[in-house]
Amino acid sequence: MTTTTSTNPAVQAIINGTAPPQARLAAASGLLPLPQADLLEVLVALRNSEDLEIAQAAASTLESQDPADLLSAAKDSGTAAEVLAFFASAPVSRDVHEAVVQNSNTPDAALTLLAASTTESSLLELIAVNQQRLVRAPEIIDAILENAARSTEAERRARETRREFFEKERGARQIAQELRARGQTAAAEFFETAELTTATGELSLDDAWLIAEHIEVSDADLDDSWLPAERFEELITENAAEHAAAVQRVIESESLELGTIAPERISLIRRIMYMNVRDRMKLATKGDREARSILIRDPNKIVASAVINNPRITDQEAEGIAAMRTVADEVLRLMALNRGWARSYPIIHNLVRNPRTPIPTCLNILPRIRTKDLLHLSQNRNVSEAVRRQAHRLSQTRSGE
């Protein structure tokens, strides 16, 4: 039995085929006193009747309908879905087609056909604007992109929706599934929520697989309490020029610290630093030592700070970071606040000798520095005068001078 929108028993009987043939013919000819909405639902249904006379009568009556009545029905969300689908495929006015596109009750399949057949570029733009519908029915995206009449704007919106909700999501999901199958749980967890975007577009699958090899920390081992919600505003979107500058800064920093850098290392730096800032922050907390050694030099302080909150970072790594003169002062300040590292003399000794460490942080550390090292520090021209003076005072006090 055919489903009808109308609650009128007569309309239901006509559409379902239980009414007498004479009544169905009368309805198809527009001779029954029916409300406009009921009449349109009847006519659309009867135009497909197996009785040729009834089908022809219904088609003829539909063609004779007042355009204003058709437009009113196309705008009404209570209009039967079958009627709206008919409007989408019928040679009606552009206004009716526009109303059908904007009517939430129009079936997705009908809009797919309209997107494939219309020659109105502005209509395709209107269809492409409804991202929610495109996500629900991705076949509409295909129809827009395959229609030669599409405008640049319609194509842009359709491609953006496909990329944002399907290609990127599918790529991340497929990578995550494969990583889980290989037993790489930590990397799978990363890609299940990764944005996979870069300064130049999407992260390539090759780059994603390479980065996956540098992830070793699972979600269960993470403690993200170090990052208050209000600091997420610092995870800003970066443009291509900013990414390029960040890459160059990391390369130059490594060159100053380590000397010559191998081409393979430069390639990895580029791949990591061209990831968006949120994914870099996640990699900083979940990545292995090689990833950490790159991201500790990230110009974004949130990303660099995430490295020292990576649960796999060792005291040996921390000692090396504390001596770096290319790392952000905020990172050095946070390191001094770490209780575990504060008990490591090599780490606090490197911090107080590092000219990048904030002066207040150095002054707080000085009382824990050994006397002979205080004396050397008081003569160290690489640190600030305030630190040298305080080191001198402390060394004199301890020696009784």
- 125-128: long-range contacts at Cβ-Cβ below 8 A with a sequence spacing of 24 or more? 125/151, 125/153, 125/154, 125/157, 126/98, 126/101, 126/102, 127/101, 127/154, 128/153, 128/154, 128/157, 128/158, 128/161
Q: What is the 3-state secondary structure (H, E, C) of 120-147?
A: CHHHHHHHHHCHHHHHHCCHHHHHHHHC
Q: What is the pLDDT of residues 186-215, one digit of tens each?
A: 999 998 888 777 777 777 778 888 899 999
Q: What is the pLDDT of residues 88-108, one digit of tens each?
A: 999 999 999 999 999 999 999
The dihedral built from the CA positions of residue 382, 383, 385 and 389, taken in this order, carries a sign that is negative
- Spatial distance between the Cα atoms of 95 and 93, rounded to a whole number of angstroms: 5
Q: What angle do CA 97, 91, 146 make, to 5 degrees?
A: 70
Q: Which range, of 137-151, 195-209, 227-241, 333-347, averages the lowest pLDDT?
A: 227-241
Residue 168 pLDDT > 60? no
Question: Regarding predicted confidence, which is higher, 2 or 148?
Answer: 148
Residue 275 pLDDT > 60? yes
Give, to the nearest 10 degrees, the angle between helix 81-89 and helix 36-46. 60
Q: What is the pLDDT of residues 276-291, one digit of tens each?
A: 888 999 999 999 999 9
Contact 342, 364 (CB under 8 A): no
DSSP conformation class of 275: B
pLDDT at residue 224, as a whole number: 75
Helix (H, G, I), strand (E, B) or coil at 112: helix
Residue 231 pLDDT > 80? no
pLDDT at residue 356, as a whole number: 95
If residue 26 lies in a helix (H) or strand (E), which one and from where to where? helix 21-28
Taking the whole predicted model, whether its pTM rises above 0.85 is answered as no
Amino acid at 144: I
Residue 263 pLDDT > 80? yes
- Spatial distance between the Cα atoms of 59 and 80, rounded to a whole number of angstroms: 17
Res. 241 pLDDT band, cuts 50 70 90: confident
Span 129-149, mean pLDDT?
91
